[in-house]
Amino acid sequence: MRPSYRVSVTPDTTTARVAEAFDYAFTGERVFEGWEKPTVPADFGIGLIVGPSGSGKSLLLAQFGKEKQITWNPKKAIVSQFADSDDALARLGAVGLNSTPAWCSPFQVLSTGEKFRANLARQLQQGAVVDEFTSVVDRNVAKAACNAVRRYVDTNSLRGVVFASCHYDILNWLRPDWYFDTSDGTLHDGRSLRRPKIQIDLIPCKRTAWGEFSKHHYLSAKLASSADCYLATADFGEGAQVVGFTCCIPMPSGTLEHAWRGHRTVVLPDFQGLGIGPRISDMLAQIYIDKGLHYYSRTAHPRLAAYRNRPRSGWIRTVEDGKHRATSRIRAKGKADLNGMGDSRICASHQFVGTKKYEKWWEV
């Protein structure tokens, strides 16, 4: 027997007219059928309550805890409204919100997808419960955010996080340890779920393609006239779509011969959190070392630097790694830095040594 929940309101002339117009017998009381709290594992990272609207998801979610309500100071950047800068970068990165311009914006000017991710970044904690999960965002944003959240929960050993959603398409991206389907009252073991593969490809393009991506770059919207440019496409199983841009430039004259360096890599906000940025950067580097050239890259983005520092990433640190720009011996003397990096900025510097032979596409 499913539990019932009753709520009452005071009938008035408006409710009477509405009820009469639609032959609805209304006495001032509504009765809702709910679900008993299922016997879930005592220790889990992520649980999901999924089902159609009106099937009792919110009532069941309330049995796991109270959702944290997020408020934002409209006069402060979102990145300034966390415990500290390290906490902000970790949490925003955890939900796939990796755009520095977005970090430095107040909440009210963000897009719907960015607002969803920002709120989620502050909700994630031990025992968090989140209702209407991914309900208001594009499905690409939903998939990317779910993938990023799963990674963050695992990395930080969060326990007892429960989401409620009406979207079944997130199951393989969130990969919950268990999920309860309110359409039929069935509890499922989600540990066998696997994230779908994403097929990535790079397509040479003209410099004019940069316009769509320039506003999303974390340093500068400028593009060197010597840049070799590529569009990145991704196929999630429903056809390829453009998701990013990457390019490189010859090393400045007088430094290294037969060498190129990364110049710009941007992933559109809707697709951040899936690991596409590092992958397309790797793919471009592989193309150039397959030509017998050397390939280098400098970045001030903390998450990309951390990725390249991992063993077997295909990248090795150079002697310039961790230096201030002003002390770098490979800076073109007397010229403005094409990557928009100031003298005081500490940069990660790497050489790509390769992972595997570049083919038509790679998978993430």
Distance CA 70, CA 117 (A): 12
The strand pairing partners of 284, in sequence order, are: none
What is the model's pLDDT at position 200? 93
Residues 90 and 148 grouped into a single domain: yes
pLDDT under 70: residue ranges of the chain:
1, 218-220, 253-255, 322-345, 355-364
Beta strand segments in the chain, E: 4-8, 29-33, 46-50, 129-130, 161-165, 178-181, 186-189, 199-205, 228-235, 240-250, 259-267, 294-299, 315-317, 348-352, 361-363
| Among candidate residues 189, 208, 229, the one where a domain is terminated | 189
Classify residue 235: in a domain, yes or no.
yes
Classify residue 172: in a domain, yes or no.
yes
What is the model's pLDDT at position 364? 66
Q: Are strands 129-130 and 161-165 parallel, antiparallel or unpaired?
A: parallel
Distance CA 306, CA 299 (A): 10
Residues 257 and 347 grouped into a single domain: yes
| Among candidate residues 128, 163, 189, the one where a domain is terminated | 189
pLDDT in tens, 263-288: 999 999 888 888 899 999 999 999 99
Residues 96 and 10 grouped into a single domain: no
Classify residue 194: in a domain, yes or no.
no
What is the model's pLDDT at position 357? 52
Residues 12 and 44 grouped into a single domain: no
Distance CA 116, CA 122 (A): 10
CATH of the domain at 216: 3.40.630.30
Classify residue 350: in a domain, yes or no.
yes
| Domains: count for the chain | 3
> How many residues can be counted in the chain?
364
| Among candidate residues 142, 167, 189, the one where a domain is terminated | 189
Classify residue 67: in a domain, yes or no.
yes
What is the model's pLDDT at position 219? 65
Residues 211 and 351 grouped into a single domain: yes
Residue 195, SS3 per DSSP: coil
Classify residue 26: in a domain, yes or no.
yes
Residues 159 and 277 grouped into a single domain: no
What is the model's pLDDT at position 265? 92
What is the model's pLDDT at position 210? 95
What is the model's pLDDT at position 360? 47
**Residue 100: domain span:** 36-189
What is the model's pLDDT at position 283? 94
Residues 96 and 149 grouped into a single domain: yes
Residues 240 and 302 grouped into a single domain: yes
Residues 121 and 42 grouped into a single domain: yes
What is the model's pLDDT at position 304? 86
Residues 11 and 140 grouped into a single domain: no
Residues 180 and 217 grouped into a single domain: no
In the block, tokens 């393009």 appear at: 205
Task: Name the burial class of residue 291, with classes exposed (0-12), middle (13-18) and buried (19+) by CB atoms within 10 angstroms of its CB.
Answer: exposed
CATH of the domain at 103: 3.40.50.300
What is the model's pLDDT at position 321? 74
Phi, psi of 325, deg, nearest 5? -60, -35
What is the model's pLDDT at position 345? 63
What is the model's pLDDT at position 329? 46
Task: Name the burial class of residue 62, with classes exposed (0-12), middle (13-18) and buried (19+) by CB atoms within 10 angstroms of its CB.
Answer: middle
Residues 205 and 118 grouped into a single domain: no
